Structure 1
């Protein structure tokens, strides 16, 4: 029997995928002030995007028409199949480049593995999945780093290129611009159910392994200047961060938000991650959620892994799920 058929990787992780992120409020407390007041001597380029607003990738201008992107992302197993986990983790790491309007150039692997507990045949499958997904993106993979760790983790550090005049930023939203979402929600609750029951959800795997490349290209072609990807902080968390950075209110039409088949059923059955619950509690003080039920709010806050792009603008094939409005009493309003 193949080792991947005997071993459930998700049982070796305290959380799964982007749901295992440090809660956003706690993370902001850690990072507060670190991006200001530190002078870099003789920098090779101008820092265009850094820590201030929690953008998806760092951007450094190297010349008039060229900037470099740098980002990293890794997490614990989100599915039991090691090859699929590798593909999902790679797509998620590459997503930060696409969310900033760039194209990936080269990535290095980040692997933590409990040697002596899990066979290295599984680690090889994880790496193979990441390598093949990166190849699909046209991104080199050149080495990386590994450590012996009690909990398996995998991801990538990615370097990309972007036109400094066409960077998608989280602080560039303007009132009157629609919000489009390029992937359905529900990944988190289905992954939580998978971890608890072993049931496989191919529709979730298909969404998580789909690159955000075409979505980014469509956003740029439509003239968008503001975007973010929807990952561990959920749609509400990422919409809130975008609205706060842009000084606007994000109005979300809950009825227009697409969801994966089976997601609402999994939510009704109680498969809600701790990360999702923390997301909702983080945005609640800054939001008007009076128009939706607690269940609907939890789905909108569902911690996504390798989710889609939230674009300030209308792009082909993506539903409009809301609009940016002049800043009101709340940064986030759900209707």
Structure 2
């Protein structure tokens, strides 16, 4: 059972990919952008595109900076309401990943009008609006087009104190790495498309992907949180390598400590993996050292594209327990210390 009974149209059949698995592979994206025009940035632009961070940040005054981000993708599940919820949660996450508080959203909607009834499209938007209401923000407008594939997402704006912006390039040697959500969303979404995901697996998928990364707001106030990002389409290894390259450091991970969604290892072993997982590995696998105990299924989970994935925190060892307390107080029971930043080249070692 891969969808609720009220899902009469299989949305995932209308798209070539789903969720953050739609993202262009990191190696290809780097090639596309390598010659992009780099105009002089104003001093007020605190975070631009130089560091592959989660959002742009523009200083408004001494106490406020504006966070601006956008995210959209094709269906990762078949139920339209759930698709809307997941896409909205994922888009809002980038504001939390900068340490900010969201204030407003704009909807981005592309739908095959000849294939989807208007009531199905309305359900997608309703799902997104429900998450925005949960985050305490309005959907203040947006843009719609007639598209060959269903696409939905948000532009999200937020606020943060200029001195409390959390970037992805400021990790320090010896920092502990904390992951807020378990891995395996891409594996579960692959099982959805192949009609191999049972009801319990579907519930786990929805619970994970619709959980707002609200701890990010509180992490902004913790000085010893040195770097922050969220894990999405490039997988855990890809987004950790962004931290490594930004800081000029390496990282080590303990596979046994990395939380996984229920049943995903078995599903991955049965071939339920996305094409994006292999593309991710092809893009950055030469910067990863895997112990002999890391099986192909575990490797697939490390590169698994996470739609609306968890926050990845790099913090001083002395504050790790306090960070875990923040996560758990907001319902992130799977949050765990999974490794540390280490001196050396920008590589990740997994044991």
Length-normalised TM-score, structure 1: 0.94
Give the equivalent residue in structure 2 for 1:26.
28
Distance (Å, rounded) in 1 between the aligned partners of 2:219 and 2:159? 17
Q: Which residues of structure 1 form unaligned runs of 5+?
A: none
Deviation at 1:223, TM superposition (A): 3.3
Q: Give the distance between the partners of 1:123 and 1:220, measured in 2 at CA.
A: 39
Whole-Å Cα distance in 2 between the matches of residues 33 and 243 of structure 1? 23
Match of 1:323 among 327, 337, 340: 340
Which residue does the alignment assign to 2:168?
A: 170
Q: Is the 8 A contact 1:35 1:51 kept in 2?
A: no
Helix, strand or coil at the partner of 1:171? coil
The Cα of 1:216 is off from its aligned counterpart by 4.2
* Distance apart, 1:219 and its partner CA: 6.1
Please list, as runs of the form range in 1=range in 2, the aligned pairs for 1:1-335 lying within 5 A after superposition: 4-34=6-36, 36=38, 38-39=39-40, 46-197=44-195, 199=197, 200=199, 201-218=202-219, 220-221=221-222, 223-291=224-292, 292-313=294-315, 314=320, 315-316=323-324, 317=328, 318-328=335-345, 331-335=347-351
CA contact (8 A) 1:167 1:225 kept: no
Give the Cα separation in 2 of the matches to 1:209 and 1:134. Answer: 11
Q: Is the 8 A contact 1:166 1:225 kept in 2?
A: no
Identify the range of structure 1 (287-296 vs 57-66) with the bigger mean alpha-carbon deviation. Answer: 287-296
The range that moved more, 282-291 or 113-122, is 282-291
Q: How far does the alpha carbon of each residue in 1:26-58 deviate from its partner, in whole angstroms, 9 at most, with x for none?
A: 11111225363x136xx6x61111111110000
Cα RMSD over matched residues?
Answer: 1.7
Could you tell me how far 1:294 is from its partner in structure 2?
2.2
Check the 8 A contact 1:4/1:81 in 2, yes or no: yes
Per mean C-alpha deviation after superposition, the further-off stretch among 196-205 and 21-30 is 196-205
More displaced, 179-188 or 197-206? 197-206
Paired with 1:5 and 1:285, the residues of 2 have a C-alpha distance of 42
SS of 2:154's equivalent? Answer: strand
Contact 1:3 1:121 in 2 (8 A): no
